[in-house]
Amino acid sequence: MEKVVIIGSGPAGWTAALYTARAQLAPLVLTGKQPGGLLTTTSIVENFPGFPEGVDGYELMTRMQQQAERFGAKTSFGVVESVDFSQRPFTLVVDGGKVVAETVIIATGASHKHLGVPGEHDLETKGVTYCATCDGALPVFRNQPLVVVGGGDSACEEALYLTRFGSVIHLIHRRDSLRASKIMSDRALSNPKIKPVWDSVVTEVLDVKLDKVTGVKLKNFKTGAESVLNCAGVFIAIGHAPNTAIFRGQIEMDGNGFIIPKHGTMTNVQGVFVAGDCADHVYRQAITAAGAGCAAGIDAERFLAAENH
Ligand SMILES: Cc1cc2nc3c(=O)[nH]c(=O)nc-3n(C[C@H](O)[C@H](O)[C@H](O)COP(=O)(O)OP(=O)(O)OC[C@H]3O[C@@H](n4cnc5c(N)ncnc54)[C@H](O)[C@@H]3O)c2cc1C
């Protein structure tokens, strides 16, 4: 029987592991298919405090793991297939085997949605990105024309943020009006640097041969016309999907599958806690995920301590 099982090994998972390990609870971290989480897919992280020159994403996550393991966190490269939260102790099916836990911290993150067009995958981190806050300030985007794809609040926020860096921001949307809230739409559309491109979809990101983004191919839905728009960066903001399918029916989520914390980081199930992007559709940053992991670690420790009194 494990005292604490942490599902996920991104910043939220490793920080929860660090805190529960230092509380001498010997947490078991189940890494899932992506040990280290999303940050391992990026080369340079410039906004994680403590690294004035920036830090390689893979290195940052390896250091988090080492720090948690130093205090007794146990690592298993397992994928959780299903959970039973109907009674305590909780049962998790991990790669066909069973793990039993007094408390569980869910830190399974979220995946960004892809356009699924040619060039998108090949040029990821070479001008294609899914996070303006993370990458917008990079030198390659400064004073350059940029493209944001999407029409919701996130797309507007990304476009507005990018006005600080790009020369012009083309906001590409498949409809003839934004589906963002009125306040966000108004803010975006009244910014002189943001140019909407209506009724249009990106059909290809250019230029794989040059190994960097030079533009996008567009198709106008209404006229059928095809065109090329030059740009140095493509910021895709068409939504995030939390990695929470295995918890469906076991725990309270919102309509999009984000887990809803109730008291601090506790969920509606006593003894199950949540941290990071699987419960956060607003900030989605490594530092906020790590902060939530810290809170979940402390909440789990206090929950167990209160029970043992
Ligand atoms: C390309 C890119 C660049 C980024 N750059 C920055 C940046 O510069 N600065 C910044 O602050 N943020 C950045 N982000 C965002 C940042 O990566 C996320 O906000 C952060 O990683 C979220 O942490 P998390 O711990 O919640 O989830 P994640 O890091 O997504 O980790 C989720 C973990 O859950 C595991 N998991 C999922 N399902 C299961 C399962 N069934 N069983 C077991 N484990 C499971 C996965 O294997 C993974 O280890 C970037 C994101 C991307 C994609």
Per-residue pLDDT of 28-80, as tens digits, reads 999 999 999 999 987 788 899 999 999 999 999 999 999 999 999 999 999 99
Nearest CA owner, ligand 1 atom 45: 32
Q: What is the mean pLDDT of residues 124-134?
A: 92
pLDDT of residue 178 exceeding 70, the answer is yes
Q: Tell which one of 9, 39, 95 to mutate to probe ligand 1, the residue whose CB is within 8 A of the most ligand atoms.
A: 39
Nearest CA owner, ligand 1 atom 53: 38
CA 13 – ligand 1 centroid, Å: 9
Is the C-beta atom of 246 inside 6 A of ligand 1?
A: yes
Q: What is the mean pLDDT of residues 287-296?
A: 98
pLDDT tens readout for residues 209-250 = 999 999 999 999 899 999 999 999 999 999 889 999 999 999
CA 175 – ligand 1 centroid, Å: 30
pTM: 0.85
Is the C-beta atom of 30 inside 6 A of ligand 1?
A: yes
CA 37 – ligand 1 centroid, Å: 4
CA 40 – ligand 1 centroid, Å: 8
Q: What is the mean pLDDT of residues 187-204?
A: 96
Atom of ligand 1 at shortest distance to CA of 14? Answer: 25
Is the C-beta atom of 47 inside 6 A of ligand 1?
A: yes
pLDDT > 90 fraction of the chain, expressed in percent and rounded:
88
Nearest CA owner, ligand 1 atom 6: 134
Would you state the pLDDT for residue 281? 87
Atom of ligand 1 at shortest distance to CA of 275? Answer: 26
Q: What is the mean pLDDT of residues 107-133?
A: 94
Q: How many other CB atoms are found less than 10 A from the CB of residue 47?
A: 13
Confidence of residue 263 (pLDDT cuts 50, 70, 90): confident
Is the C-beta atom of 276 inside 6 A of ligand 1?
A: yes
Atom of ligand 1 at shortest distance to CA of 13? Answer: 25
Rounded CA-CA distance 37/34 in Å is 5
Instruction: Out of 39-53, 87-101, 115-129, 136-150, pick the least confident.
Output: 39-53
pLDDT > 70 fraction of the chain, expressed in percent and rounded:
100
Is the C-beta atom of 185 inside 6 A of ligand 1?
A: no
Atom of ligand 1 at shortest distance to CA of 46? Answer: 8
Alpha-carbon torsion (283, 38, 127, 240), positive or negative: negative
CA 121 – ligand 1 centroid, Å: 18
Would you state the pLDDT for residue 223? 94
Would you state the pLDDT for residue 309? 59
* Active site residues per annotation: 131, 134-135
Q: Average model confidence (pLDDT) for the chain?
A: 95
Is the C-beta atom of 42 inside 6 A of ligand 1?
A: yes
Would you state the pLDDT for residue 144? 97
CA 110 – ligand 1 centroid, Å: 7
